[in-house]
Amino acid sequence: MMFNLFPFHSPKSEGPLNGLGRERTVRDIEPSKLKALGFLLITALGALSSLELKADPIFMTSNGYSGLGAIPDAHVMPEGQVGFVSEFQIPGANNPKGSNNVLGMGVFDSLEMSYRLADNNPHCNMVTNANCPNGQMRDLSASFKYRIPTQAMSFLGRQMQVAIGQTDGLGGTSPFKSNYVVATHQSGPVQLTLGAAQAVGPNATLKGGFWGAQWNPSSWARVSMDHTDQSTWLHSTLLAHPLSDKTDLFITFNNQLTHNEVTQKSWLGVGVNVPLNTVRENNNPASSEAGTTSATRVKSKRFRLPHIKPFDFQDELIKNGFLKAKFGKRGNDLFLWVDQENFQWNAMDAAGLAMGLLAATFGDQAHAFQLVVGNRGLDVLTLSGDTACVKKWLEVGDPCSSTLVVQSAMNHTRDWSDVTWSFDSTDFERPELVLSPALVSILNTEYGAADFDLGLNVNPIMRVWKGGYVELNAVVPMGVRTHNFNEGGVFYPNRLNQQVSRQLFHQMVDLPKLNTQTMVSVGKIYQNYSGVALETQTFNASGNVRFGLQGGEFQSKDANGVENKLNYKLGSLRYALDNRFNSSTELTAGTFWAGDKGVKLSERIWHRDTSLDFYYKRSNLVDGSTISSVGFEIGFPLTPRSNSSYERLNLRGTSQFTYAVDTRVGSNFNTLQNTTNVIPDTGETLKQISNLDRNSDRYFEMRKDRLRQAYMDLRVEDRKSWVFD
């Protein structure tokens, strides 16, 4: 999705009329005065309410950073949290009245990044001068704030934090760009902030020295005052937690106390904070390696597993979503293989639930066991231990869980010879129907601020044999689109068309001795292109390094019978320096789908099962020109975490829905360009099938707690049968 950054400036707008010279009634009170009364009411109610406070929520502001309202503070968004704020106000614009939307997120514990879309009129066409009033501004920008680690600033005391940041740092133009340093001191419900900024852009509001003060009178209200560049504002915020204590909804009343035209006199803002993922994980090396868990520290009651009779074991597996399973014994040892098909968020969820069912059935006595979780014919992870230990761990958090071994199945051989199998349902035929959004999105062009066309991907999948399956994908337009995608609109050629976009047969082959997996795909893509594609991935012993190859050759014929051949040949190298897989770096290079030769460098950051990708890509086109761009992509599972509703059909969403925006860099032009660095869509990749490319031994070992948590959260049974002491 491409966007342009070409702001258009207008003369300063006139200030509001003051209405002098006539008698005023209650009906004549200006909206700004009503909002000021609202501010006073919030303050009074907050002062009368309880002073027992929760952790102070951190909110995004319309300027692209978290803070008090008009200025930043030294706090950053919590890691793994997303904040969104929308205001009909563009601080610093020549005409401040407009639409201002900011999306921010806590990338790391000390790093916050945000994206801001500001526009005076989201629908007017800036290419045609008569269509858009003079002085309209349209800007999409990125900002960041980095909090200096507390240890490095320990001489200032525990209550003081210091951060540096930049607003409006990327894009063809940067009208609001500022660089700043800020310090914040917290004392109970009172917070004081002091900072200095260098204004770079002509419309930057943050310049010179700035200061602010904030008071939290209650857990559902806060008030603040801030000042920068001869302008002062009062802000009052009401907040609520309707879904959970980690989700904040808020509304802010903003009032300017001075008479500068950098903002309107008063306006409203609304926003929300939500966690990227609510699944709990403990990947602290110290606690995991010591064999302790968060559950042992915080859970005071003892949970007793229900007793499952051995002859009911298969029924319990089926009831919990494991329709394809294989179970057997060799002496006193137990062996279980299950399919991940109903647990698309993470293979750890399937492993934890199956492990708990084993312990509930055979945990009264000590049995060594091996458990394997597979997906689409590939084995993903292995889990081995003792059933009696697992039962004690699930019930009371026994530290014997340190003896559990969780590994990637892709680089460890197993001996399952001489096993007597009690049941084997791995040949059970169960078609899948995967439904997911089809979205074409174009942000911030001269033609509109946010244009999109929404449809539906209908993707039936049927297994043929082990590792082999056929799939179709039909794109169904839903008619939900902006006017620029309608007939006669500038983006009409880019609209979604009803078509069968894929008709493919896939065959996966596992080569465990080489730590390599291969997938061959044969058929049609993009409706008319017939050919073959090949994908491979090879891992080192620990799994933190992956080398991949992708390539294909496809051709189509136009109405005149002229053949059009397209080939792509790519190599990739992924390296996870942090072997817990909180982040990884990947370099992809070669010839892409449209014949352009280039590279793509990306940094992927994981927040449980949600990924954030920040990337740079560069392509040399066939005409000799070069295009460079930077972008951001978010990926998350768009399907239930556990999905065992239908026995004869696996109806689900996609295991990873992605949305990306990027912009050209190193150029004053940002024309729409969606044909560079393209890798054709041939369905789910090997990376998706192998636990979304998180399959190192260390990744699984550091997340043992998720096994226990998955069983507690996903177990299908009558909860009344659970016993707590």
Domain segments of the chain as ranges: 31-275, 285-427+704-724, 432-694
pLDDT of residue 293: 43
pLDDT over 70 (residue 326): yes
Alpha-carbon distance of 582 to 702, in angstroms, equals 11
Most confident region among 3-12, 552-561, 566-575 by mean pLDDT? 566-575
* Same CATH fold assignment for domains 31-275 and 432-694: yes
* pTM of the complete model: 0.84
Alpha-carbon distance of 454 to 489, in angstroms, equals 16
Helix H segments across 609-703? Answer: 686-689, 697-701
Structure tokens at 653: 């969403």
The sign one gets for the Cα dihedral 619, 602, 272, 41 is: negative
pLDDT of residue 719: 43
- Fold (topology level) of 31-275: Porin (2.40.160)
If you average pLDDT over residues 263-274, what whole number do you get? 92
If you average pLDDT over residues 584-604, what whole number do you get? 94
pLDDT of residue 141: 86
Residue 391 identity (one-letter amino acid): K
Which of 106-120, 278-292, 671-685 comes out lowest in average pLDDT? 278-292
Give the pLDDT band (50/70/90) at residue 33: very low
| CB-based contacts of 62, cutoff 8 Å, min separation 6 | 85, 87, 89, 90, 91, 100, 102, 116, 269
Q: What does DSSP assign to residue 400?
A: G
CA dihedral 152, 157, 160, 165 (to 10 degrees): -10
Measured N-to-C along each axis, helices 347-362 and 704-714 cross at an angle, to the nearest 10 degrees, of 70
pLDDT of residue 582: 84
Residue 575's φ and ψ, nearest 5 degrees, are: -135, 130
Count of CA atoms in the C-beta half-sphere (13 A) of 528: 10
pLDDT of residue 218: 85
pLDDT digits (tens, 9 = 90+) for 435-486: 999 999 888 888 888 899 999 999 999 999 989 999 999 999 999 999 899 9
Which of 12-16, 96-100, 639-643, 690-694 comes out lowest in average pLDDT? 12-16
- Fold (topology level) of 432-694: Porin (2.40.160)
pLDDT of residue 557: 80
pLDDT of residue 150: 79
Answer yes or no: are the C-beta atoms of 509 and 518 closer than 8 Å: yes
Alpha-carbon distance of 66 to 134, in angstroms, equals 31
**pLDDT greater at residue 99 or residue 559:** 99
Q: What does DSSP assign to residue 722?
A: -
pLDDT over 60 (residue 298): no
Residue for token digits 């189509």? 556
